[in-house]
Amino acid sequence: MTPHAHDDHEHEVATEARFVIKPKDINEEISWAQINEDVLSSLERPRPLYWVIFFGSLAAFCWGVYCEIYQYNTGLGVASLENPQVWGLYIATFIFWIGMSHSGTLLSAILLLMHADWRKPIYRFAEAMTTFSLMTAGLFVLVHLGRIWEFYYVVAYPSERWTWPNFSSPLVWDATAIGTYLTTSIIFLYFGMIPDLAICRDKAHGFRRLFYRVMSVGWKGTDWQWANFRVTYLTLACLLIPLAVSVHSIVATDFAVSQQPGWHTTSFPPYFVAGALYSGCAAIITLFIILRYTFRFEQYMTIPILEKLAKLTFAISMVWTYLNLIEYASVWYGTDSYAKDALIFRATGTYAGWWWAMNILASVVPFAMTFKAVRTHIPTMMVVSLLLNLGMWIERFMIVTPTFAHGYYPWTWTGNWWPNWVQIGIIIGSFGWFTMLFMLFCKIFPSVSMYEVKEMVYHRIRARKKTAPQPAPIVQPAQS
C-alpha cells in the first residue's frame, strides 16, 4: 500500500473506523432522502404511546398548578414546611432538575469537541432536555419563595432606589448563573437546529410552512452559511461548557458556603457536578428509549449507541461514587464533630432507609451496566435508568433534609418530618411540566439532527472506503 497524503480529519475517522466499529452505530446504507423522511415523519403521526405520555404529563402538570395555586393563596405553611425544615422538597428537587440539565451539554458540547460522532443522532433531544429541565428548575425557585411576586429583587437590575441584591449571597450567584446558562442553552439548541428547520420548511405546507420559514431565518445551505454556522456553533459549544460546570458548582455553594453541618464541605462543587452529569445521563437513557419507541427511531437511536451511553453513565457513576465516599471519609476523619454527628444521623436516624436506598441505587445498581446483556437490553436499561434517577433524587433529598432535622442546635432537632401532599403534588407537577414541554418539542421540532446524521453516515462510508482491502498487487513472475 503506497503512502499517500490525506488530511488529518480523514485519517482520524479512518483510524476510528478500522479499530472501533464492531456493530455499526448506524446503518450506513441509509440514503439522505430516507433520513429526511424518517425524521420528518416524527413530526406527523407518532405511536399512540406518545399521546398517553403527553396527556398524562399534562394532567400531572394541572395537578401541580392546582397545588401551587392553593399554596400561593394560603401560604407556604400548607406545604408542611416548618421551623427548622424551611426548604423541604422544593430545594431538593430544584437541585435535581439543575442536575438533569447538565448531560445535554455533555453530549452536545463536550462530545462535540471530542469528535465523538455517535452523539449525533441523540444530542438534539439531550440539548432540549437541558433547556426544559433548566426551566423546571427555575420554576422551583419561584415556587419556593415566600413572596413569589417580588422575585425580581434577587436579580441585579438598576433600581431608582439604588438597591442591589446582596452579592455575597450564593442565591444571587444562582440566579445569575442559571439565567445565563438557560439563555445560552436556548440559543445553542435553536442555533444547532436551523439547517434542520430549513428542511422542515421545504417539506411543510400551509401555516406550518410559514412557522418553519420564520424559524429557519432564511437558511439556504450555501457554503458561506455553512462556514459561519460551523464557527458559531463551535464557539457556542466552548462557551456552554464552562457555564454548565459553573452553574452546578454555584448550586453547590448554596450549601457549601453556609455553615450547617453536612453542608459545609469544600468538595461539594465537584461532587454536585458529577452528580449532575450522572443523573442527566440516566435521564437521557430514559428519554432515548421513550423516543426510540414513540417516534419509530429504531434506525437512528440504535442499540450500539445505547450501549455507549450506558458505558458513559457507568463511568460517571463511578466518579460520583468516589466523590461521595470522599465526602463521607472527610467528614468521618475530620474534626468537625457536628458534621460527623449529622452523617451518623443520616445513616442511622429517621431517614436511614432513604440514605441506604440512595447509596445502593446510585452506587451499586450501576454495576449492572458492566454486563453487555444489560446494556443492550432495552427494558432492563429503562428500569436501570429510572432506578439511577430515583437514587439521585434521593441523594438531593438526603443533602437537604437531614441537615435541617439534625443541625447545630439540639432544641430544634426534629425526628419526624415528612413532606405532605402539596409538596409532592408540586413535584409531580414539575415532572408533568417537563415531560409535556419535552414531548411538545419533539412533536414540533426534529428531535434527531438530520444534517448531522447525514454527516455521520457520509464520514463512515468514506472511512470504510479508505480502509477497504486493496486488491493485491499482481506480481509478475520473473521470466528471463
CB of 7 to other proteins, least distance (A): 50
Residue among 456, 441, 196 nearest 300 (CA): 456
Return the residue of 41, 258, 266, 348 that touches other proteins, per CB under 8 A: 258
Nearer Cβ to other proteins (22/147): 147
Site for other proteins in 369-428 (CB under 8 A): 404, 407-409, 411-412, 414, 417
Residue 31 binds other proteins, judged by CB under 8 A: no
Return the residue of 74, 183, 235, 348 that touches other proteins, per CB under 8 A: 74
Residue 444 binds other proteins, judged by CB under 8 A: no
Nearer Cβ to other proteins (32/157): 157
Residue among 6, 25, 70 nearest 422 (CA): 70
Nearer Cβ to other proteins (15/74): 74
Site for other proteins in 122-151 (CB under 8 A): 144-148, 150-151
Return the residue of 24, 45, 77, 348 that touches other proteins, per CB under 8 A: 77
Report which residue type is found at 98. Answer: I
Site for other proteins in 33-72 (CB under 8 A): none
Q: Which of these segments, 49-57, 163-171, 295-303, 450-458, binds other proteins (CB under 8 A)?
A: 163-171
Task: Identify the sign of the CA torsion 231, 308, 99, 403.
Answer: negative
CB of 255 to other proteins, least distance (A): 9
Three-class secondary structure assignment of the chain: CCCCCCCHHHHHHHHHHHHCCCCCCCCCCCCHHHHHHHHHHCCCCCCCHHHHHHHHHHHHHHHHHHHHHHHHHHCHHHHCCCCCCCCHHHHHHHHHHHHHCHHHHHHHHHHHHCCCHHHCCCHHHHHHHHHHHHHHHHHHHHHHCCCHHHHHHHCCCCCCCCCCCCCCCHHHHHHHHHHHHHHHHHHHHHHHHHHHHHHHHHHCCHHHHHHHHHHCCCCCCCHHHHHHHHHHHHHHHHHHHHHHHHHHHHHHHHHHCCCCCCCCCCCHHHHHHHHHHHHHHHHHHHHHHHHHHHCCCCCCCCHHHHHHHHHHHHHHHHHHHHHHHHHHHHHHCCCCHHHHHHHHHHHHCCCHHHHHHHHHHHHHHHHHHHCHHHHCCHHHHHHHHHHHHHHHHHHHHHHHHHHHHCCCCHHHCCCCCCCCHHHHHHHHHHHHHHHHHHHHHHHHCCCCCHHHHHHHHHHHHHHHHHHCCCCCCCCCCCCC
> Which cell goes with 356?
441506604
Nearer Cβ to other proteins (49/156): 156
CB of 69 to other proteins, least distance (A): 15
- Residues 173-212, mask of contacts with other proteins (x by CB under 8 A): --x-------------------------------------
CB of 258 to other proteins, least distance (A): 4
Nearer Cβ to other proteins (169/370): 169
Q: Which of these segments, 257-265, 314-322, 348-356, 425-433, binds other proteins (CB under 8 A)?
A: 257-265
CB of 401 to other proteins, least distance (A): 12
CB of 399 to other proteins, least distance (A): 12
Nearer Cβ to other proteins (141/244): 141
Return the residue of 21, 30, 171, 241 that touches other proteins, per CB under 8 A: 171
Q: Which of these segments, 84-92, 326-334, 425-433, 455-463, binds other proteins (CB under 8 A)?
A: 84-92
CB of 162 to other proteins, least distance (A): 4
Return the residue of 82, 202, 298, 455 that touches other proteins, per CB under 8 A: 82
> Which cell goes with 355?
440514605
Residue 266 binds other proteins, judged by CB under 8 A: no
Total interface residues for other proteins by CB under 8 A: 48
Residue 224 binds other proteins, judged by CB under 8 A: no
CB of 143 to other proteins, least distance (A): 11
CB of 339 to other proteins, least distance (A): 12
| Calpha distance 268→252 (Å, rounded) | 6
| Calpha distance 17→242 (Å, rounded) | 31
Residue 469 binds other proteins, judged by CB under 8 A: no
Binding region for other proteins (CB under 8 A): 74-77, 80-87, 144-148, 150-151, 153-154, 158-159, 162-172, 175, 254, 257-260, 404, 407-409, 411-412, 414, 417
